[in-house]
Structure 1
Amino acid sequence: MASTSNDIGVLFLSEERNGGRQKRKKRMWSVIESTDTKLVLKRRKVADYRPEDLEAFFRLLEDPVIKKFLESDIHYKVADKYLLSIVVEYFGRVRLPAHTYNRIHFFVALFIANQIEEDDMKSKFSMMPALFGKKLWRILYSDFRRVQRKFIVAMNWRVLVSRQICDEIQAQVPTHWVWDRDRDFLT
């Protein structure tokens, strides 16, 4: 329980640093088609993650609790490569110093990604016993939800991540074992 309140304090370093506000990003445009009289532009999605966010993510994958959880997800219903890419993007949107990310942040980001992208409530809640233990997770779930709400606010309510950004994140280190987590759609 003590680590949860400590995690809440660490989570909001970025709010204090930014004064609770994030600067608006410049819009990036790409030329799709060009003819003599016509130019077709498309707004390009820009990723928020930083290289240090990706390093923090890889460091967290070595955490014994996270490693055990990922090993138990044999069909990749809760943590396939795209949901894990979203975790990296969420880290970039929260903008905490990379060394402060810990397992609570990982599971909060993965839980949010599952809420946004998946319909299976049962699979999503399989994270809770892995994080808090089978006996304590129901007691600590309300604290987890409180941290989750603060995490979403720190991301400025931007919870949608495009597949293009996920592919870009995976392309940074394409040979890492975590990107081999392709979901088995037959189960």
Structure 2
Amino acid sequence: RGEDNGRTRKRERSPCDEEVQERPQKRRNAAISSLQQDEMAAFFRVLEDPNIRTFLTLDSCMRISDKYLLAMVFVYFIRAGLQTEEYNKNFFAALFLANQMEEEVGFRHEIYQWAFGYTWMQKRQQILHDRNLLLLRIGFRALVDQDTCEQVMAVDPLHWAWRRERPIHHSRAFPMLRRNVQQVNTYGPWSSLPPCMLCRTMHLSLHAR
């Protein structure tokens, strides 16, 4: 997807991307054409799960769970034909996949601890296994364009999840050698990379209830 309020494309545009853009609008949006209100409501309930909500709150500067990545998670659930009761157990695997598809910087490894708690070192291969199963269920259709994400958000545009706008100053990838100690440490469970000074006020305000 193109640059958009702090987001940049991970990959150069490929022939596959061009084909997706040229498909008729109806076909491109087939993943959400049968969207039901109860599916969206179930997704929002997953976001309110105490562990997931805390993870989202502590995701510093929304590096691994901004609104587009969350919309991609929902699209994967629809494409996979998951039952609503399967949403919770597949959330972190879907978010991991979304990060692999869209992000240059490997902050996605923070997801391990939130998915498995203090046993994450022993279980970290499980999320890769779960991701692979999800890929099979979606028929390897992991590319989600920006239009599809925005249509998902338009179903309930006032929900707090869709206010998770990544700041523009976090839009660029930067080399490993230029990262500070905080940016290469692994945090969690129940902690995360501290927010930068520019994001701190916005981050706290967004999640105030």
Alignment TM-score, normalising by the size of structure 2: 0.65
* Structure 1 unmatched ranges of 5 or more: 1-40
Pick from 115, 124, 127 the counterpart of residue 131 of structure 1.
Answer: 115
Q: CA deviation at 1:74?
A: 2.9
Q: Which residue of 1 aligns with 2:78?
A: 92
Change (3 A) 1:162 1:137: same
Higher strand share: 1
What's the C-alpha RMSD, in Å, of the aligned pairs? 1.5
Task: Give me the whole-angstrom Cα distance separating, in 2, the residues matched to 1:55 and 1:47.
Answer: 20
| 1:114 maps to 2:95 | no
* Matched residue, 2:125: 142
| Contact residue 112 and residue 127 of structure 2 kept, 8 A | no
Aligned length: 144
User: Secondary structure of the residue that 1:101 maps to in structure 2?
Assistant: helix
SS at match of 1:139: helix
Task: Name the SS for the 1:159 alignment partner.
Answer: coil
Q: 1:157 to 1:168 in 2, by over 3 A?
A: same
Aligned to 1:53: 39
1:70 aligns with 2:56: yes
Q: 2:67 aligns with which of 64, 81, 85?
A: 81
**Which fold has the larger relative contact order, with Cα–Cα distance below 8 Å and residues 6 or more apart in sequence?**
2
> What are the superposed Cα offsets for residues 61-93 of structure 1, whole Å, 9 maximum, x if unpaired?
110010010000130100000000001100001
State the distance in 1 between where 2:67 and 2:53 align. 14
User: What is the aligned partner in structure 2 of residue 27 from structure 1?
Assistant: none
Report the CA distance shift for 1:139/1:172 in structure 2 as closer, same or farther (over 3 A): same
Distance 1:42 1:92 in 2: 20
How much does 1:96 deviate?
1.6
User: Aligned residues: percent identity?
Assistant: 34
**Runs of 4+ off more than 4 Å:** none
> Is the contact made by 1:47 and 1:165 (CA closer than 8 Å) also made in structure 2?
no
Gaps of 5+ in 2: 1-21, 171-209
Deviation at 1:42, TM superposition (A): 5.8
57-66 or 140-149, larger mean C-alpha shift: 140-149
Find 1:105's aligned residue among 57, 76, 90: 90
> In the alignment, which residue of structure 1 is the partner of 2:148?
165
How big is the shift at 1:120? 1.0
**Alpha-carbon distance in 2 for matches of 1:87, 1:177:** 16
Partner Cα distance (2:71, 2:30) in 1: 11
> Which entry has the higher C-alpha Rg, 1 or 2?
1
Write the letter of the residue equivalent to 2:130: V
